[in-house]
Structure 1
Amino acid sequence: MARIAVIGAGMGAMAAAARLAVAGHRVTVYERTDTYGGAVRRLERDGFAFDTGPGLLPLPAVYRDLFVKTGREPLEECVELVQVDPSSHHMFADGTRVSLPNASRAGVVAALEAALGAEPARRWGDFLVRAREAWDRTRRPLLEEPLWPNWRTLAEREPYPAVPHKKLLRTRRAGTLAEVGAWELRDPRLTALLESHALAYGLDPRRTPASAAVLPYMEHAFGLWYVRGGMRELARAVYERCLARRVEFVFGAEVVRIVEKDGRAAGVGFRDGVVAGADHVVAGVDHHRLGFLAEHRLYDDGDVRPEVSGEWAPPGRFGVLLALRGPREPDAPHRTVVHTPGREAELDFLTVGTDTPASPTVTVLRPDDPALRPDAEHESVVVSAVVPSDAQWGEGDLDERYADLVVEAAERALPGLRERVLWREVYTPDQADEETGAEFGGVPAPSLAGGGTGFLRPANVTALPGLYRVGGWSHPGGGLPHAGMSGALVAGLIVEGPEFRGSQ
């Protein structure tokens, strides 16, 4: 039985902790804040409740597997999963609307045909066939296996089978998501639909590899799910599973260094000088903080390094939490994406730091959940947009000015929205930084093949023996399913050793 010290109580860290405890190890989680869940948080006020982090769960099989492997009660006995249908309602800049059914490729194509016409729908259906091929090629190496030692194969080889495109007597193939939209979809509404999946993680489609086609494919193939009571209930269930497996949690315990002895990680040290010894250390923190904690170099020659990508301040999420008077309409979609009419301005704001765009792409979440509102005559709504996390949030009136823009965009989906507002809370990347410890409150994206090293995450193992990375800032990247898989990979590497090759 080994002693395992886990830094942070995020979803990936707790997933690793539960699996390691089941394997017979003594696991202690040290969390600098007073609660668990990482970015999966909840704000409550006056009988209203809001998810301040992820609002929906893709690929729930990852957490089903966690609960099967760590106890008798399956996930569905610990939380109530609700399939969201339609999975999303889209409002495009030209006024076109379309509702996309959940987990049905044929249904999505049929909905697009009714809204956009037969030819655009056919092109989207053909695109999904190619996206599935990219998914089949990358699913195991980028989700289910530790990062390959020859990871450059993933970085340099584009798995998306792009259609040949003739331009100026030359034949080219799409290498970015934007080129897939322009050359293969050839409809600004389909392009907006495609790019919104990358934009949700702050990825600029003009630079994002074509392999990001797997993001809409995952949603169409595996669906989106909501956890009744809010996504915080999923974090609670994972935390309680850890407790049931006798994982110890110490809250208010900020780790300030990783203790090294005889050339390997040997524990963690705290601000008051106390040291907790360990045989293995699992760090569920972003690469900036991990670099401050460890004196030893964390990367061998040839490793994926975050600085190679230039990702010092990844985009963050800006949320406006709205307490509304008046009931929710029975047929209101759970999720509405309101697409910006100014694509280039939005992308430049996000990636270059230009002035605030006139209208951002916003996601409106309206769960039909009595647990989130004081009574049937009120409604809780979360409106969010992706923003540059290193903007001057919290200074002057930037927060409120941008919140006004977000609410104005959301009003396209909810006419009369501003007249219904009882009060609102603004949630900025600065607040996410304070709660999660992630530099600037940035949101990590899932790892993607192609596009060079900037779209992969560092391996779960480090150059310091006994120290492991877990969570969205490590392989296989950000998002709830990826966090859960990072926990499975780290547990496998500790239990089985470096020969571990992932689930079979």
Structure 2
Amino acid sequence: MARIVVVGAGVGGLATAARLAATGHEVTVFERADSVGGKLGRHTRDTPAGAFTFDTGPSLLTLPEVFHELFEATGAKLDEYLDLAPLDPIVRHVFPGGGPTLDSCADPAEFAARIGAAFGDRAAADWQRLWRRAARVWNASHADVLRRPVGSPLDLAALAWRLGDLAAIAPGRTLRGLGRRHLSDPRLRMLLDRYATYTGADPRRAPAALVAVPYAELTFGGWYLRGGLGTLADALLTRCLDLGVVVRTGTTVTRIDAAGGRVHGVRLAGVAAPVPADVVVANADALTVYRDLLPSPRRLAALTDRSLAGFVLLLGVSGDSGLAHHTVFFPRGTDAEFDAVFGHPGRGVRARPAADPTVFVTVADDPAVRPDGHEAWFVLVNAARHGTAAGAVDWRRPGLAEAYADRILDVLAERGVDVRDRLLFREVRTPADLHADAAAPGGAIHGTAGGLLRPANRGPAAGLWLVGGSTHPGGGLPMVALSAQIVADEIGPAWD
């Protein structure tokens, strides 16, 4: 039996702790915040009309079988803890120009039919051709890449790729290039581009292999957890406690002791004595681990782009807007938005708030999260990271956040959804807030941007492991849970 310390009680940390405790290890989790969940955050606002509850992180659960496997591995059933509701539409896409909307769903044939009805038979045929390619990418990657440790280009090269798989994955091609090759309708290209941003990446630079992201969502479905996605953190915490894991919130790990090339434990803020450990699992951003938690700063072995961030409005809205659970409102053009969000320091282009951004609105039809006759709106706009460098924006600059919030509400009004006269309240969350609240450098949502090669799960010292969205296999709830599975499998059960 190993003494294992987990740094961070996000989904990755809790999932790893539960798996390890279920196999006989002694596990303690330290979390700097006062509650668990990490980026899977929640916020409640009390008003005279009643309480509004918002998910401030993920708003969609995909690949639910990953979580069924997780709970079964810890001796439980997912349905005993969570109430999953399938979504149709998964996302409603509203395009510029006032044309038809497009509702995505988890039936590929039905989605192709919806594309045909909205955009014509050629567009539907284009999508089906892309879909066949996406299936090959998914089949080539989900078992050999997403469920195994991958820490270097050599690890990827060592996989038994078939020639057809390599042709589908198209190393060197971008997601934008893939869309332009296969899709003639600009609205479908816009839709495909957007999946790169779901992994924190610029579609003009993101690998074509990210076509597996829409494939997973639109094949296996998108799900809402009644009561909010934050109930997943509650369920994982319960599993951990039932398995004997010690979870200490409000406790900051300031250093990982790793003298002599292996871990010995961790140091806590305000505590003189170190906490001994045979194994340390860090559910912190990989950059934070390498730069701030090790005895001496180290360079990440994998050179990866930092993820984009998000600018968020939490709105209490009176009345019924008739929106789908998820709605995406696209701008007239996306390249100007991507230039603003990502910047191009090499070309002298500074990051800035996008003037005409894509706007994501989540409105859960769930009485548990809003008073009768009202809606709780989570509004997200892709944004540059917080900071002062050319590729970032100083979101703490006086007046900027409120002015940009006004702009987002104006944009929604321009796109046919004006709620400015129905607001009970609005709260603003900037990348600077995520930077401070979740220890996410710059407020980067996924830590590192989408790609096949991310920081490895195996750390630079023996006994040190990394889980979470900034590490392999990537961001998003199922990928984070898979990182926990990879690490738990590599550590092995206590009785080995």
Return the TM-score normalized by structure 2.
Answer: 0.90
User: Which residue, 199, 212, 223 being the options, matches 2:210?
Assistant: 212
Contact 2:150 2:156 in 1 (8 A): no
Contact 1:470 1:483 in 2 (8 A): yes
Residue 321 (structure 1) aligned with residue 314 (structure 2): yes
User: Which residue, 462, 465, 472 being the options, matches 1:465?
Assistant: 462
Residue 387 (structure 1) aligned with residue 383 (structure 2): yes
Superposition pairs for residues 170-249 of structure 1, below 5 Å?
Answer: 175-249=173-247
Structure 2: 5+ residue stretches without partners: 344-349, 387-392
What's the offset of the Cα at 1:431?
Answer: 1.3
Deviations 1:309-364 (A, max 9, x none): 353xx3111111110111353xx311111111131210100111344333101111
Partner of 2:390: none
What's the offset of the Cα at 1:201?
Answer: 3.1
Partner of 1:396: 398
The more displaced of 437-446 and 470-479 is 437-446
| CA distance in structure 2 between the partners assigned to 1:296 and 1:151 by the alignment | 27
| CA distance in structure 2 between the partners assigned to 1:142 and 1:25 by the alignment | 27
| CA distance in structure 2 between the partners assigned to 1:139 and 1:82 by the alignment | 24
Residue 282 (structure 1) aligned with residue 264 (structure 2): no
| CA distance in structure 1 between the partners assigned to 2:473 and 2:464 by the alignment | 17
Partner of 1:88: 91
| Cα distance change, pair 428–53 in 1 and its aligned pair in 2 (3 A) | same
What's the offset of the Cα at 1:202?
Answer: 3.0
The residue type equivalent to 2:3 in the other structure is R
User: Which residue, 317, 333, 339 being the options, matches 1:348?
Assistant: 339
Contact 2:458 2:466 in 1 (8 A): yes
The more displaced of 92-101 and 243-252 is 92-101
Aligned length: 474
Provide the secondary structure at the position in 1 that maps to 2:328.
Answer: strand
| Cα distance change, pair 326–218 in 1 and its aligned pair in 2 (3 A) | same
Superposition pairs for residues 322-471 of structure 1, below 5 Å?
Answer: 322-329=315-322, 332-352=323-343, 353-375=350-372, 377-390=373-386, 391-411=393-413, 415-444=417-446, 455-471=452-468
Provide the secondary structure at the position in 2 that maps to 1:490.
Answer: helix
Partner of 2:27: 27
| CA distance in structure 2 between the partners assigned to 1:182 and 1:228 by the alignment | 38
| CA distance in structure 2 between the partners assigned to 1:384 and 1:465 by the alignment | 40
Partner of 1:167: none
Partner of 2:64: 60
The more displaced of 438-447 and 222-231 is 438-447
Contact 2:20 2:493 in 1 (8 A): no
| Cα distance change, pair 305–6 in 1 and its aligned pair in 2 (3 A) | same
Provide the secondary structure at the position in 2 that maps to 1:201.
Answer: coil
What's the offset of the Cα at 1:408?
Answer: 2.7
What's the offset of the Cα at 1:124?
Answer: 0.6
| CA distance in structure 2 between the partners assigned to 1:356 and 1:154 by the alignment | 42
Partner of 2:304: 309
What's the offset of the Cα at 1:264?
Answer: 1.2
| Cα distance change, pair 298–23 in 1 and its aligned pair in 2 (3 A) | farther
Contact 2:285 2:447 in 1 (8 A): no
| Cα distance change, pair 179–257 in 1 and its aligned pair in 2 (3 A) | same
What's the offset of the Cα at 1:178?
Answer: 1.2
Partner of 1:41: 41
| Cα distance change, pair 125–132 in 1 and its aligned pair in 2 (3 A) | same
What RMSD over aligned residues (CA atoms) do the two structures have, in Å? 2.5
Partner of 1:168: none
The residue type equivalent to 2:107 in the other structure is S
| CA distance in structure 1 between the partners assigned to 2:198 and 2:245 by the alignment | 33
Provide the secondary structure at the position in 2 that maps to 1:204.
Answer: coil
The more displaced of 487-496 and 407-416 is 407-416
Where has structure 1 moved over 6 Å in runs of 4 or more? 154-158
What's the offset of the Cα at 1:95?
Answer: 2.1
Residue 5 (structure 1) aligned with residue 5 (structure 2): yes
| CA distance in structure 2 between the partners assigned to 1:438 and 1:140 by the alignment | 29
| CA distance in structure 1 between the partners assigned to 2:411 and 2:256 by the alignment | 46
The more displaced of 4-13 and 147-156 is 147-156
| CA distance in structure 2 between the partners assigned to 1:348 and 1:372 by the alignment | 36
What's the offset of the Cα at 1:293?
Answer: 1.1
Contact 1:349 1:355 in 2 (8 A): yes
Structure 1: 5+ residue stretches without partners: 164-171, 450-454
Contact 1:321 1:381 in 2 (8 A): yes
| CA distance in structure 2 between the partners assigned to 1:57 and 1:194 by the alignment | 19
Partner of 1:252: 250
| Cα distance change, pair 205–445 in 1 and its aligned pair in 2 (3 A) | farther
Return the TM-score normalized by structure 1.
Answer: 0.89
